[in-house]
Every structure is written in C-alpha cells, then in structure tokens.
Amino acid sequence: MDKESLLIYLVSDSIGETAEQVAKAAVSQFIFENYEIRRYPFINEKQQITEMIQEAKQQRSIIIFTMVVPELKIFLEEETKKYNIPCIDIMSPIIEGFSNILHSTPKREPGLIRKLDEKYFKKVEAIEFAVKYDDGKDPRGLKKADIVLIGISRTSKTPLSMYLAHKNIKVANVPLVPEVALPQELFDVPSKKIIGLTTNPMKLIEIRQERLKALGLKSEANYASIERILEELEYADAIMKKLGCPVIDVSTKAVEESASIILEIFREIGYKVINGK
C-alpha cells in the first residue's frame, strides 16, 4: 500500500458492524477512494490489540472502535497514543449520553444487540412454524416441533400454539377427529413432547354453539350436540392414553395459564423446549 493510502482498522469486542457502517458513511463524505478497511472483531485480549497496533503503526492508519469493556478500551487508547495513531471511540459518547439521561449504569457487555436480534428472529421463526403446522396441515412438522398439542376442536390448540411461539417455542398441533386417521408421524414423536388438551363437555357445547353462530349456522348442528362432543372426547381420551402423554383440562383456564402448566410439565421432566433445545 502506497503512502497516500489509508488503512482503516475497525476494532470491536463484538462483530464490529456498527464501526464498519459509521466508517463507510464517514469516508463517503470525501473524494477519496484509496483506502482499505480491515475488521478486527471479537477482541477480548490485550495481546490481540497489541498485534493489531504493531501492524497499524507501519502505515498511515486510523483506528475506529466500538469497545464496551473498559479495560480493553483504555488499553487500546493508551497503545494508539504511544504510536500517534488516530483513534476514534464511537460508542462511549453515546453510552455516556444515555447513562446521564436514564440515570443508569450500562451493562458493558459485548454483543447485546446481536443477542436481541437473534432472540427476535427465533420468535419470528417459531410463529411462522406455528402457522405452517397448525391444525395438522403438514404432519412432517411434528418431528421438528418442540411441543405437539393434540385435542378435539375448540380446545385452544391454535391460541396455545401462538402463545408459546411468542416464547420462541416451535409448536405443531393436531386435531383429533374420530373419522379422520391420525398421521403416522404423531406416533413417532416422543410422548414427552406431546400434550393432550381436553375440556368439560358442557363448556364445549357453549363454545361450539357460539362458533356456529359466528359462522351463521344453526346451533343445533351435530358439531355442537352433546352426543357428538362426548364421542369426540371419548375418542381423544383413548388416543392420549395410547400415546401416554400428559393431559390438561383447558375448560376453566386462560391461554396463559394453560401455557404456564405446559412449560411446568416440561421443566419437571427435565425436557428443554425453549429455543428448540
């Protein structure tokens, strides 16, 4: 690299994306193209900084950094001062500004924004999973799920799937209908990953009648008859016993309460479901 060129060192105790974006935005304000960017991410030792400084001092360089660990930040500033290398701290002025306004001490932990992004995308992935494998649409999803919910119609399978998805848990659900054969994939899922949902027949009559009204249908339809509901509940009970899975009565429970019970069941048996583990 010739003497008119500029080496831009981006130093971070995380990925270094922030430093890169700021550096590119700044250099674009000048009629200057003879530069090279060198990224040094995940710096967690003084020795790494020392090695980088030894390289930077040989040429015309500038160091832009986003270090949040105080010890490493101070060491970097001291080393660049020794060799008269321009050094720009991006994060500190912003962190100090927020600290003053919020009257709070920063965590000083590298990579927090990345962790937040990862958590967000896992949640989106879990929600998409719940939609894709809702109501037994695709039995191939049963083996991929963290939890499989089974139950007859109107036992809160879909609301529970979505609620758990917002906790980064991938949930598939399968409706139990006497006339419809169950997918073989369900019997390949470990029983400890399956939760059966049941309810009080009288409560279910009310729910199904309201559902029929919402659809503009007569409430006397077989779907909401006591005979049909008892038949479905008996069938579902037999399936759940065959699978050997835990069963939750959702008739008097809010979705949040049922979800809490599901998570407690998994904690008790030591089976991790959060984040797909």
Q: Which pLDDT value is given to residue 218?
A: 73
On whether both 42 and 151 belong to a single domain, the answer is no
**pLDDT (average), residues 149-175:** 95
22 or 271, higher pLDDT: 22
Specify the CATH number for the domain of residue 22: 3.40.50.2300
On whether both 159 and 260 belong to a single domain, the answer is yes
Q: Lowest mean pLDDT: which of 33-37, 163-167, 176-180, 220-224?
A: 220-224
- Report yes or no: 166 and 226 within 8 Å, Cβ to Cβ: no
What's the mean pLDDT when you consider all of the chain? 89
On whether both 204 and 140 belong to a single domain, the answer is yes
* Residues contributing to the annotated binding site: 151-158
Q: Which pLDDT value is given to residue 13?
A: 84
270 or 190, higher pLDDT: 190
Answer whether residue 73 is part of any domain: yes
**pLDDT (average), residues 174-184:** 96
On whether both 37 and 137 belong to a single domain, the answer is no
E strands, the chain, where?
6-12, 35-40, 61-66, 87-89, 147-151, 171-175, 194-198, 247-249
Cα angle value 10/16/18 (rounded, 5°): 100
Q: pTM of the entire structure?
A: 0.61
On whether both 157 and 59 belong to a single domain, the answer is no
- Report yes or no: 85 and 61 within 8 Å, Cβ to Cβ: yes
For the stretch 43-53, pLDDT in tens is: 889 999 999 99
Name the residue range of residue 145's domain: 117-276
On whether both 83 and 183 belong to a single domain, the answer is no
- Report yes or no: 147 and 197 within 8 Å, Cβ to Cβ: no
According to DSSP, the residues that pair with 11 across neighbouring strands are: 40, 65
On whether both 168 and 258 belong to a single domain, the answer is yes
On whether both 85 and 137 belong to a single domain, the answer is no
Q: Which pLDDT value is given to residue 276?
A: 42
On whether both 215 and 93 belong to a single domain, the answer is no
For the stretch 55-114, pLDDT in tens is: 999 999 999 998 888 899 999 999 999 999 999 999 888 888 888 888 888 777 766 666
On whether both 173 and 129 belong to a single domain, the answer is yes
* Residues contributing to the annotated binding site for ADP: 151-158
- Report yes or no: 158 and 173 within 8 Å, Cβ to Cβ: yes
On whether both 90 and 65 belong to a single domain, the answer is yes
**pLDDT (average), residues 184-210:** 94
For the stretch 102-142, pLDDT in tens is: 888 877 776 666 665 677 788 889 999 999 999 999 999 99
On whether both 86 and 151 belong to a single domain, the answer is no
